[in-house]
Structure formats: structure tokens, C-alpha cells
């Protein structure tokens, strides 16, 4: 018992030391931007990226040290695909602590770790804007469209997108190949938004309260441009 108590005290002292160095863990810090201002920052950053006139804001030693001492205050959370051609901070020309990024193949939102990460950004960091970011030439969507048989956990990802493929094929029987894939990529972000509302009371309530706005978008891996579909 004495050993157990000693370990508990040692652990508590260690956590106090960590908090003193890095700031509060999982603290609700919040950002000063509104959803509209946050969206404008993302659009402005993407325009700079497309024009290759990046400013690289908040990407220096001072910013790194500031966020280490005062904690993070991201103005947006982006759910994007894990594809290496979609580096979110680069696409939006932003820096350290600006965007809370969650990436998973197919930018799907069914897994509890993905949804929980988004809830953390919305509920604890009070981020006002959530972007569901799909992208052209998405391999996860392409695999679902082709019907290729995937194994293991890849099959689980594929299974989440197949219903979207079937819905698009039913509504657009003339679409084939690249055109079909592109439409599924687009409709998939709408499905992800519906999944988020269905699977997360936190996000659903914050949207209803007006403290969180969901925006849907597609990134073009060739042009670098982000096309925005709708704001809610």
C-alpha cells in the first residue's frame, strides 16, 4: 500500500511539473475568431497557396514558443483525407496552432476516435468552424467505386463509402468512370456531415446552438484550389 501511495504522489508531482511547462492539458481555451472570420482566413490562405504567394503565418519560433506556454487556440478544425497530397496547413497557408487537423482515409467520420477528436476541438477548444474536406482522385473513394476487394481494416473503410456509391449510381445511372468517382467524392462529404450529426450529440447540439458551423469542401490535388459547397 505504501508503494502504491508513493507512486500516486510521484505521478501527481510529475503531472504538476508537466502542466507548469506546457500549460493546462485538455483546457477549454477558445479562439477569438467567429466562424465567418475563420472561413475567410482559410479562403484567403488557399488563394495564396494557389497563386504560390504563401505568407507562412504563425510558422516561426515565436509562435511555437507561444503555443507551448499558452496552449492552442485553433480557429478551425478540418476533417480531411490521409492522402499525402492534401497537407492541410499548407493548402490553407496557415501555421502552428491555427488548424486542428483530423485525417483519415476517405475523410469518413464513423470511428469513435475520429468523432471524439472532432468533439474535443468543438467542445474543449471551442473551435467555431468545422470543415469536411474531400479531395479529387481520392483512392479510398476510387476503391469503393471500382468494387475492388480490399482486405482487413481497408475493407472497413471501403464499406463506409460503398452506400454513397450505390446512391450516386441510382440517381445518376449515366455516370461512369472518372465522372462517377468525382460525384461520389462530392456526395461523400455530404454523407460525412450527416454521419457527424447522427453520431455526435456534441456536434449536433453545437450546430443547433449556433456555436459551430459545418462547411463542406473539395480540394483539387492538381490545381490546389478548394471548392466550397455549402455552409451550415
- For residue 50, how far is the Cα from the chain centroid? 20
Region 192-220 average pLDDT: 97
Neighbours of 125 (CB within 10 A): 21
pLDDT of residue 29 exceeding 90, the answer is no
Q: What is the per-residue pLDDT for 7?
A: 41
A 10 A CB-CB count for 16 gives 10
Q: Where are the domains of the chain?
A: 29-231
Residue 126 — φ and ψ, nearest 5°?
A: 55, 40
- In the sheet that holds 99-103, the strands lie side by side as 99-103, 76-80, 129-135, 213-219, 226-231
| Integer Cα distance of 70 and 51 in angstroms | 33
Residue 219: pLDDT over 90: yes
Q: What percent of the chain has pLDDT over 90?
A: 82
Q: Is the pLDDT of residue 22 over 60?
A: no
* Residues 97-142: tens digit of each pLDDT: 999 999 999 999 989 999 999 999 999 999 999 999 999 999 999 9
Q: What is the pLDDT of residues 151-199, one digit of tens each?
A: 999 999 999 999 999 999 999 999 999 999 999 999 999 999 999 999 9
31: confidence class by pLDDT, cuts 50, 70, 90: confident
Rounded Cα distance between 78 and 216, Å, is: 10
Which of 28-37, 85-94, 101-110, 122-131 shows the lowest per-residue confidence on average (mean pLDDT)? Answer: 28-37
Fold exhibited by the domain 29-231: Beta-carbonic Anhydrase; Chain A (3.40.1050)
Amino acid at each position: 500500500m505504501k508503494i502504491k501511495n508513493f507512486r500516486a504522489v510521484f505521478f501527481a508531482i510529475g503531472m504538476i511539473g508537466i502542466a507548469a511547462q506546457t500549460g493546462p492539458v485538455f483546457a477549454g481555451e477558445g479562439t477569438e475568431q467567429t466562424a465567418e472570420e475563420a472561413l475567410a482566413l482559410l479562403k484567403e490562405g488557399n488563394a495564396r497557396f494557389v497563386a504560390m504567394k504563401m505568407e507562412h503565418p504563425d510558422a516561426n519560433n515565436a509562435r511555437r514558443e507561444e503555443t507551448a506556454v499558452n496552449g492552442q487556440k485553433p480557429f478551425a478544425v478540418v476533417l480531411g483525407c490521409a492522402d499525402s497530397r492534401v497537407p492541410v496547413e499548407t493548402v490553407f497557408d496557415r501555421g502552428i496552432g491555427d488548424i486542428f487537423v483530423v485525417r483519415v482515409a476517405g475523410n469518413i467520420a464513423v470511428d469513435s476516435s475520429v468523432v471524439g477528436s472532432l468533439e474535443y476541438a468543438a467542445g474543449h477548444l471551442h473551435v467555431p468552424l468545422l470543415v469536411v474536406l474531400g479531395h479529387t482522385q481520392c483512392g479510398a473513394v476510387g476503391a469503393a467505386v471500382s468494387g475492388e476487394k480490399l482486405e482487413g481494416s481497408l475493407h472497413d473503410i471501403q464499406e463506409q463509402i460503398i452506400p454513397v456509391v450505390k446512391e450516386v449510381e441510382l440517381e445518376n445511372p449515366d455516370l461512369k468512370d472518372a465522372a462517377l468517382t468525382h460525384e461520389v467524392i462530392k456526395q461523400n462529404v455530404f454523407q460525412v456531415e450527416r454521419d457527424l450529426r447522427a453520431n455526435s450529440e456534441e456536434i449536433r447540439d453545437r450546430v443547433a446552438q449556433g456555436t459551430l458551423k459545418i462547411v463542406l469542401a473539395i480540394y483539387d490535388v492538381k490545381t490546389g484550389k478548394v471548392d466550397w459547397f455549402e455552409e451550415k
